[in-house]
Amino acid sequence: DEKEIKDTLSWFENKNSNKNERYFGRYKGKNLIIVQLEAFQGFVLDKKINGIELTPNLNKIAKDSLVFKNYYYQTAWGGTSDAEFLSNVSLLPAREGAVYYQFAGNKYDSLAKELKNIGYFTCVMHANRPGFWNRTNMYKALGFDRYENENNFIIDEIQGMGLSDKSFFRQAVEKMKNYDRPFYSFLITLSSHFPYKDYQNKIANIIDVGEFEGDVVGDYLKAVKYTDEAVGILIDELKKAGLWDNSVVVFYGDHAAIPYENKNKLAKLLYGKEDLNTFEWVTAQKVVMMIHFPDEKIKGIDETTSGQMDLYPTLANLFGVKPKYVLGRDLLNDKEGFILTREGNFITNDVAYLKSLDKLVDLKTGKEVDKNKYNYLFEKYRTYLEMSNKMLEYDLLRYKDKK
Ligand code: GP9
């Protein structure tokens, strides 16, 4: 009803007003390049496999970037598309199915729209069929000026699921060279897609994965190594094109790589042991996340518990826009630290709630703590989930405009 609509909109408006504005608008006028890396879980950074660095290119940029070490994915049924949605809209994914299919007709406040309002050209690139995840319709709803899909790339080299990330990045930079400035480009990679099979038999020897040879973890490590090499190419090409020094560049992973049924393999890789308990599994669900600034003035490691819903508000502040209907927080000004997931888990800087066990666990000790002492947290995250659901399911921004 009318009151519920008003209350929901006001909840968002209040939450997002009177915020601390350190760094507000500092990078306004710079290009923004966001690279969403397929299945890049957080542990790949700094990982050595038989003494060899798995992601030397990302690690090198990380040294001069702001790195979020405890950044979780919050995706649900919509996989990659949910990560896109969380990062560009800052609402949780749909209760059932994928937002990209269920709610493509909604009206959204999005990063692309806000940047367009201040004069940016906006573009999304992903070299797969445009119908996949209903992207054509959804990218219109998100306000992108252009969608460069499979049909706009020369498919000259295949790796994994489609056009190789190396070729994709090279062609992406060629396209960006011709874009009006400033621009926002959202690049979504493809090669390191599950099941990480090297169908073309090109990367079998890219890295010696030892005991993981021939299983899903071994195949994953090879795919990650390949995409990291592609990232190296992207950076070189951006530098050659004179874009690197004029752009804020973000790298983040979209969702899990290793399925739950392979958790004993993951246990081997991460801890050298036979299995992971629920706590270890849940807290392993982090993804890569770093922001490289052209002046390299903001850098270092941030340990705040954070997640994909926080990207848009964080960038909005840096580029000088103030979105009113985001669920996440600006990570440069808000250190409270928490994430919540569609399935009902939440993690703060101190505790993690494991829905499947109905247990609250201390992050430092891994030991169970008394849930009743943390009722306020349960209430808070219930409200967040409810507000996000209402925004999405009642299409509240459309209502707002009609008023
Ligand atoms: C395909 C890609 C895959 O275009 O984005 O999505 P996913 O299966 O990883 O959710």
Report pTM: 0.98
SS3 content of the chain, % helix, strand, coil (to 5): 40, 15, 40
Q: What is the pLDDT of residues 291-307, one digit of tens each?
A: 999 999 999 999 999 99
Report the 10 Å Cβ neighbour count for 240: 11
Average pLDDT over every residue of 79-95: 98
Phi and psi, residue 389, nearest 5°: -60, -45
Res 19: pLDDT: 77
Mean pLDDT of the chain: 96
Residue 79 Cβ contacting ligand 1 at under 6 Å: yes
* Of the candidates 227, 222, 115, 221, the residue with the CA atom closest to the CA atom of residue 167: 227
Check pLDDT > 80 for residue 190: yes
Closest ligand 1 atom number to CA of residue 135:
4
Check pLDDT > 60 for residue 403: no
Distance 19 CA to ligand 1 centre (A): 35
Res 85: pLDDT: 98
The whole-angstrom separation of Cα 226 and Cα 207 is: 9
Res 344: pLDDT: 93
The whole-angstrom separation of Cα 124 and Cα 112 is: 9
Average pLDDT over every residue of 360-370: 95
What percent of the chain has a predicted confidence (pLDDT) above 70? 99
Question: Closest residue (by CA) to atom 5 of ligand 1?
Answer: 80
Res 401: pLDDT: 66
- Annotated catalytic residues are 80
Distance 81 CA to ligand 1 centre (A): 7
Q: Is 159:200 a contact under the CB 8 Å cutoff?
A: yes
Average pLDDT over every residue of 360-379: 96
Ligand 1 pocket test: which of 75, 77, 80 has the largest number of ligand atoms within 8 Å of its C-beta?
A: 80
The whole-angstrom separation of Cα 168 and Cα 191 is: 10
Average pLDDT over every residue of 86-114: 98
Question: Closest residue (by CA) to atom 6 of ligand 1?
Answer: 80
Res 38: pLDDT: 98
Residue 132 Cβ contacting ligand 1 at under 6 Å: yes
Residue 80 Cβ contacting ligand 1 at under 6 Å: yes
Check pLDDT > 60 for residue 189: yes
Q: What is the pLDDT of residues 248-295, one digit of tens each?
A: 999 999 999 999 999 999 999 999 999 999 999 999 999 999 999 999
The whole-angstrom separation of Cα 401 and Cα 113 is: 15
Q: What is the pLDDT of residues 138-151, one digit of tens each?
A: 999 999 999 999 99
Report DSSP letters for 62-97, one per residue: HHTSEEETTEEP---TTHHHHHHHHHHH-S---SSS
Distance 366 CA to ligand 1 centre (A): 33
Closest ligand 1 atom number to CA of residue 193:
9
Closest ligand 1 atom number to CA of residue 39:
9
Ligand 1 pocket test: which of 75, 87, 99, 132 has the largest number of ligand atoms within 8 Å of its C-beta?
A: 132
Q: What is the pLDDT of residues 9-53, one digit of tens each?
A: 999 999 999 778 899 999 999 999 999 999 999 999 999 999 999
Distance 162 CA to ligand 1 centre (A): 11
